[in-house]
Amino acid sequence: MAVKNGKEYTERINRQHIKIWYQGKTIDRPLSSHPAFNGLMKTQAEMYDMQHQKETIEQMTFQSVTDGERYGLSFLAPRSREDLVRRRIMMELWAEKHHGFLGRSPDYMNTTLMSLYTAAHLLREYNPEYEDNLTKYYDYCRSQDITLSHVFIQPFASRLSELVDDVQDSITAKVIDRKENGIVVNGAFMMATQAATCDEILVFSTPLPSMLEPDNPYAFAFAVPNDLEGMTFICRESYSGTSHYDHPLSSRFEEMDAMVIFDHVLIPRNRIFYLGDEEIGERLFSEGNFHSHAGHQVLTRYIAKTEFLLGLISALSDEQNIALEAVTRERISRILTMLENLKSLRLASEMMAEPDSQGYYVPAPKPLIAATMQYSSFYQEMLGMLQDISSSNLVMLPSETDLASDAGDFLRLYLKGQDTSARDRIALFRLARELAIGPFGGRQKQFERFFFGNTRTLTSRMYKVYSLDKYTAMIDEFLQRGKPDRLANEKSLID
Ligand SMILES: Cc1cc2nc3c(=O)[nH]c(=O)nc-3n(C[C@H](O)[C@H](O)[C@H](O)COP(=O)(O)OP(=O)(O)OC[C@H]3O[C@@H](n4cnc5c(N)ncnc54)[C@H](O)[C@@H]3O)c2cc1C
């Protein structure tokens, strides 16, 4: 079967020989037995199993009309609104499993690849080989159910050095040699979430505008297996706990981020999707409607996460005996309002979906961009609610070991709730703590703020899908005044 199960996912990751650094040492044991990765890998494995279980197989997979094979639905390039709804149901099932805490559940990258594939035809005008490479790569990932990560962002210092550097020595990732059988790439990418626990990595450089195309060495896209010779992964410190009681979230959902270094790596020719001209990369993303297809997945994740926080804030309010207070009603109704808003935006994106030039259905971008614009600040607002309700209870929290110790009787006596045992009360606040003030929660907060770009990028994305002319003309007409030249202003906002 083309869809893999959890065991196959784990075995493939363990089989890879990747060069990976963690806390000053290379890891030379199966990642599924390493405390920094095993919780996440177990969760991912359970998610892949859902593609095989009889209760969910119909919603998680589809049967190809072309070859009769079953594939993961997250790879399905939608041909109708019904397909978008099927995709959403699949994404909901996975999101309910990880409660929105996995930014890189498999459907995110599978959707990314699918969106690029829908625009593969445009590569023909640059080089038919690229079109062939991307199409075949999509088929390969779909038929092998490949788990992917991705990198875009290059080292900070490269933002300047790229303009002036020497082709061999600079730190900006670039093509340093072109050979018959591929290109040699050298340099680093800053951050790939889940990089080490994936089969392959999709690399899209984000070069500064340049006068060098069509031979710009900084402009390229390709995908390669993680254990290609010359690749190195350097992990940040892990935020994962090992006990589900002490660290209920990080012990399951900690997605390790890694820096990815290419040290004179030969990228095989059949894995190159474009080269030398940054305009091609931009077109692939915009004409593949990446932000719409991925935005549909992201919004589904937002909804699952909001529902989880709603449940948690409600349970904490009960625990603190303030469930009937006006302040609680205000908080809960604020979350319910946003939840309805997010669900409506998703529905709107599906209802207003339209086919692209190739007949693939694209969720409407405006509602999806609006959701992304709202969510990072709303997410922080919910974290503020957690902190407010929980107060010192987020801090004075013994562990499972403390409860099992000789001091356990004191803890059970003095830390019990009104109707709950100390053990259950502590479990609830430990969950709130991980999210509201712990390192796992801090990363989640930063993720929600930046994973789709910085504020400036998000804002200009919104500007690009709207024209303000209609609205300003309304005011001009209302006041019966002359029409000023606003074009210059608008342009500077869009760039
Ligand atoms: C938890 C997490 C996981 C991530 N995972 C991945 C991943 O898997 N793959 C991947 O490729 N990337 C990943 N990223 C990176 C993400 O794509 C970037 O963080 C994002 O694109 C912003 O880029 P940056 O971090 O370089 O910040 P910058 O773009 O450098 O922004 C830094 C600050 O400067 C401001 N700024 C920048 N330019 C301007 C300007 N011209 N005018 C005014 N202000 C400006 C920004 O608004 C921001 O406040 C991840 C990020 C996080 C936090």
**Residue having the nearest C-alpha atom to atom 29 of ligand 1:** 454
**Residue having the nearest C-alpha atom to atom 14 of ligand 1:** 451
Distance (Å) from CA 450 to ligand 1 centroid: 5
Indicate the burial class of 104 (C-beta count within 10 angstroms; 0-12, 13-18, 19 or more). buried
User: Which pLDDT score, from 0 to 100, does residue 486 have?
Assistant: 60
pLDDT above 80: residue 460: yes
Of the ranges 114-123, 160-169, 245-254, 455-464, which one carries the lowest mean pLDDT score?
160-169
Instruction: For residue 444, give the ligand 1 atom closest to its CA.
Output: 1
Distance (Å) from CA 447 to ligand 1 centroid: 10
Distance (Å) from CA 479 to ligand 1 centroid: 42
User: Which pLDDT score, from 0 to 100, does residue 492 have?
Assistant: 47
299 contacts 111 by C-beta, under 8 angstroms: no
User: Which pLDDT score, from 0 to 100, does residue 482 have?
Assistant: 79
**Residue having the nearest C-alpha atom to atom 38 of ligand 1:** 456
User: Which pLDDT score, from 0 to 100, does residue 215 have?
Assistant: 84
The residues that bridge with 151 in the sheet, in sequence order, are 203
Whole-number Å distance between alpha carbons of 38 and 30: 9
Q: What mean pLDDT is predicted for residues 126-149?
A: 97
- Whole-prediction pTM value? 0.95
User: Which pLDDT score, from 0 to 100, does residue 232 have?
Assistant: 98
Res. 239 pLDDT band, cuts 50 70 90:
very high
User: Which pLDDT score, from 0 to 100, does residue 208 have?
Assistant: 73
User: Which pLDDT score, from 0 to 100, does residue 160 have?
Assistant: 63
User: Which pLDDT score, from 0 to 100, does residue 494 have?
Assistant: 45
pLDDT above 80: residue 165: no
List pLDDT tens digits, range 38-56. 999 999 999 999 999 999 9
Average of per-residue pLDDT values in the chain? 94
User: Which pLDDT score, from 0 to 100, does residue 207 have?
Assistant: 81
**Residue having the nearest C-alpha atom to atom 48 of ligand 1:** 454
Percent of the chain beyond pLDDT 70? Answer: 94
List pLDDT tens digits, range 377-406. 999 999 999 999 999 999 999 999 999 999
Q: Which residue has the higher pLDDT, 158 or 371?
A: 371
**Residue having the nearest C-alpha atom to atom 33 of ligand 1:** 454
**Residue having the nearest C-alpha atom to atom 42 of ligand 1:** 456
Q: Which residue has the higher pLDDT, 376 or 383?
A: 383
b/e burial code for range 40-69 (CB count within 10 A of at least 16 → b): bbebbbbbbbbbbeeebeebbbbeeeeeee
Distance (Å) from CA 437 to ligand 1 centroid: 22
pLDDT above 50: residue 495: no
pLDDT above 70: residue 415: yes
Distance (Å) from CA 110 to ligand 1 centroid: 22
Distance (Å) from CA 65 to ligand 1 centroid: 41
User: Which pLDDT score, from 0 to 100, does residue 157 have?
Assistant: 76
pLDDT above 90: residue 487: no
**Residue having the nearest C-alpha atom to atom 21 of ligand 1:** 453
User: Cα separations (Å) of 217 from 108, 116, 156, 207, 330?
Assistant: 28, 21, 18, 9, 55
Distance (Å) from CA 456 to ligand 1 centroid: 10
pLDDT above 80: residue 153: yes
Indicate the burial class of 210 (C-beta count within 10 angstroms; 0-12, 13-18, 19 or more). middle
Distance (Å) from CA 444 to ligand 1 centroid: 14
**Residue having the nearest C-alpha atom to atom 44 of ligand 1:** 456
How is the chain split among helix, strand and coil, in percent rounded to 5? 55, 15, 30
Distance (Å) from CA 453 to ligand 1 centroid: 5
Distance (Å) from CA 454 to ligand 1 centroid: 5
Q: What mean pLDDT is predicted for residues 336-364?
A: 98
User: What is the CA 285 to chain-centroid distance, rounded?
Assistant: 16
User: Which pLDDT score, from 0 to 100, does residue 158 have?
Assistant: 72
List pLDDT tens digits, range 313-330. 999 999 999 999 999 999
Ligand 1: which residues within 6 Å by Cβ? 149-153, 191-193, 257, 443, 446-447, 450-451, 453-456
199: closest CA among 170, 224, 172, 169? 224
**Residue having the nearest C-alpha atom to atom 16 of ligand 1:** 451
Instruction: For residue 153, give the ligand 1 atom closest to its CA.
Output: 11
Q: What mean pLDDT is predicted for residues 136-141?
A: 98
Distance (Å) from CA 2 to ligand 1 centroid: 35
User: Which pLDDT score, from 0 to 100, does residue 170 have?
Assistant: 63
List pLDDT tens digits, range 181-234. 999 999 999 999 999 999 999 999 988 777 666 788 889 999 999 999 999 999
What 3-state class would DSSP assign to 283?
helix
Instruction: For residue 457, give the ligand 1 atom closest to its CA.
Output: 47
Instruction: For residue 159, give the ligand 1 atom closest to its CA.
Output: 30
Total residues belonging to the chain = 495
**Residue having the nearest C-alpha atom to atom 39 of ligand 1:** 456
